[in-house]
Structure 1
Amino acid sequence: MTKPDRAVWRTELDRRSHTAGVRGLAHRLRHPVRTSFPSTRTLRAQRHRGEGRPSTARTFWGQRMAIALPEEVSISIHRHGYVDYDLTAFLLSHLRPGSTVLDVGAHIGYYTMLAGALVGPGGRVVSFEPTPSTLSVLRTNARHLPQVTVVPAAVWSKRDELEFFDRGLGYSAYNSAFEARLPDVVRRRVPSERISVTAVSLDDHVSAEGLHVDFVKIDAESAEAHVLAGMRGLLTSGQPVISLEVGDLDVTDAPSSRELVDTLMDAGYEPWELRRGTPVPHRPQTRYAYQNLLFAPTGQWPAPHTKEA
């Protein structure tokens, strides 16, 4: 892969993110197959039936990627070339060549591939993914990235064997050791197969590999408290910047998002939220809708945050 041109990539990301109004209509008319077919309704029906097929798409930075339609992340990549504008834009400005990134809950590998492109051959990306079907797609996407190491395991508070729920290709983004993070009416219709997976802690893995970690992306589908419990050493000594998915859907045995925020603040971190990819100070809330919050060691980022941070 060529050396990343972050300015060009950001321009392309911004262009693709403007999908509303006349500009968005023109984009859909120019690319009707990629952006409109099959319809959302058709894809939703296929997910409910457990149907799926491998495919490929091109990311906004120009890399070919294996995807798994009709899964939600794959649809976004197929239609737009990216997932979650805010976190993607932040990574474009934050990740530097030579950095080390941990991708907890790597899924099919979108953030793994983006991080691999940004940290370059001198950096490292360690991607954790336990579900065999999803792991297969992730490995396909990582096979030409020597800076990427795929770990076939869930991340937990300690090394263990977990009962895990594989929700099929269409709902693979919700595979978890807990109930699916979906509304009840959808949750009841999602297929779910119990499997056994290996789990590891980040502290153990980082110690064994001798890593100095710069950034951790955590998307662990209600297991975030266990992930944080297994990285206390990393929070104390390494103090990487952390991205944490939050969102309260009342999953049994999972703590509230506010409890996760408080855990990181008690560990010496400040919370930040993203606005068009730029971190701004975050005021903790009682209840959270879905979003990715950032956490940086207290005092590391001035307010407002600049790209040099």
Structure 2
Amino acid sequence: MTTTDRTAWRAALDRRARTTGLRGLAQRLRHPVRTCYPSSRALRRRRHRGEGRPSAARTFWGQEMTIALPEEVSVALHRRGFVDYDLTAFLLSHLRPGATVLDVGAHIGYYTVLAAALVGPGGTVRAFEPTPSTLTVLRRNAGRFPQARVVPAAVWSRRDELVLYDHGLGYSAYNSAFEARLPEAVRSRIPSDPFTAETVALDDYIRAEGLAPDLVKIDAESAEAHVLAGMRGLLTGPRPVVSLEVGDLGVAGAPAGRTLVDTLTAAGYEPWELRAGTPVPHRPRDHYAYENLLFAPAGHRLAPHEEAGPPCTT
């Protein structure tokens, strides 16, 4: 991928991100079905009823993806073609061709597909996802890229079997071994069906596969501490950049975001936060709302990608 391609993709992302003012109105008028239909109220009713159907969307860079409306990540892809502007913009600027990416908690595969497109045929992407129904959609999306492989397992501190809870298609982004990161009023009205999945520790996996990851994206729905416990070797050996979802929502058994931040800083990592997709040094807080933080080995600046330059960890 050339610098020109990345510039064009970033411009496309920024256009899709405009949802207010005259530019946002113009976008809704140009694309009324994509941006306004189905309505948020209709989607919410369908989500509560557990309804859903496979559909298709195009990402901001033009890649076709299978989605599962009315699930909320799918809604974002249907309407805007991206999920989480900040993390998307960071990956677009920093992931180089040939890099190795581990997508922990891949869900339907948005970040798997984005990473595969950015690292190119010479790169490697591994997408970890345990939920059987979600795996069907993920496999369709990852299957478009030879460099991407799906691992049907939950990432944990060790190899084992784990009971997780499936909250139905509409709330599949919240499937977890813990209670859903949702308000109690919502949790009480949605399915919560237990299923058993195999688990894998990242240290064991990369040793068996002979991988040296450049980036690990972790979105494990309250299991982040267990994921980190199973990648101690990674944090002292290959030392990849880590993207970590935090958010203190009072989930029983899940440590506070500050505990996760302290775990990584104790391993010699420095925290960064994203502002308009640009990493800036982060000052640890005692409480975290939903946010994706970045962690890089101490002394390594998260400089933007250069075509002939080093991996994103330098």
TM-score, normalised with respect to structure 1 = 0.97
- The answer to whether the Cα contact below 8 Å between 2:156 and 2:227 also exists between their aligned partners in 1 is yes
Q: 1:172 maps to which residue?
A: 172
Q: What are the equivalent positions in structure 2 for 1:231-242 lying under 5 Å apart?
A: 231-242=231-242
Q: What are the equivalent positions in structure 2 for 1:1-309 lying under 5 Å apart?
A: 5-301=5-301, 305-307=303-305, 309=314
Aligned length: 307
Cα offset, 1:74, TM superposition? 0.2
Cα offset, 1:18, TM superposition? 1.2
CA distance in 2, matches of 1:270, 1:3: 28
Rate the CA distance shift 1:118–1:306 in 2: closer, same or farther, 3 A.
Answer: closer
CA distance in 2, matches of 1:127, 1:2: 25
| CA deviation vs aligned residue, 1:272-303 (integer Å, no higher than 9, x gap) | 0000100000000000000100000000017x
Cα offset, 1:184, TM superposition? 1.6
- The answer to whether the Cα contact below 8 Å between 1:4 and 1:117 also exists between their aligned partners in 2 is no
Rate the CA distance shift 1:25–1:265 in 2: closer, same or farther, 3 A.
Answer: same
| CA deviation vs aligned residue, 1:217-255 (integer Å, no higher than 9, x gap) | 000000000000000000011100000000010000010
SS of 1:238's equivalent? coil
Deviates more, 1:252-261 or 1:2-11: 2-11
SS of 1:16's equivalent? helix
Rate the CA distance shift 1:143–1:3 in 2: closer, same or farther, 3 A.
Answer: farther
- The answer to whether the Cα contact below 8 Å between 2:103 and 2:125 also exists between their aligned partners in 1 is yes
> What letter is aligned with 2:35?
T
| CA deviation vs aligned residue, 1:141-172 (integer Å, no higher than 9, x gap) | 01121100110000000001000101110000
Percent identity between the aligned chains? 72
| CA deviation vs aligned residue, 1:108-135 (integer Å, no higher than 9, x gap) | 0000000000000000000000000000
Deviates more, 1:58-67 or 1:182-191: 182-191
> What letter is aligned with 2:83?
V
CA distance in 2, matches of 1:190, 1:258: 29
> What letter is aligned with 2:195?
I
> What letter is aligned with 1:193?
D
Cα offset, 1:4, TM superposition? 8.1
SS of 1:5's equivalent? helix
CA distance in 2, matches of 1:204, 1:306: 31
Rate the CA distance shift 1:206–1:4 in 2: closer, same or farther, 3 A.
Answer: farther
> What letter is aligned with 1:118?
L
| CA deviation vs aligned residue, 1:163-208 (integer Å, no higher than 9, x gap) | 0101110000000000001122212222110000111000000000
Uncovered stretches (5+) of structure 1, i.e. residues with no partner: none
CA RMSD of aligned residues (A): 1.4
> What letter is aligned with 2:184?
D
CA distance in 2, matches of 1:306, 1:77: 25
Rate the CA distance shift 1:194–1:38 in 2: closer, same or farther, 3 A.
Answer: same
> What letter is aligned with 1:146?
P
> What letter is aligned with 1:99?
A
TM-score, normalised with respect to structure 2 = 0.95
Q: Which runs of 4+ in 1 moved over 6 A?
A: 1-4
SS of 1:235's equivalent? helix
> What letter is aligned with 1:54?
P
Cα offset, 1:22, TM superposition? 1.5
CA distance in 1, matches of 2:237, 2:125: 20
Cα offset, 1:3, TM superposition? 10
Cα offset, 1:307, TM superposition? 4.6
Q: 2:309 maps to which residue?
A: none
- The answer to whether the Cα contact below 8 Å between 2:95 and 2:305 also exists between their aligned partners in 1 is no
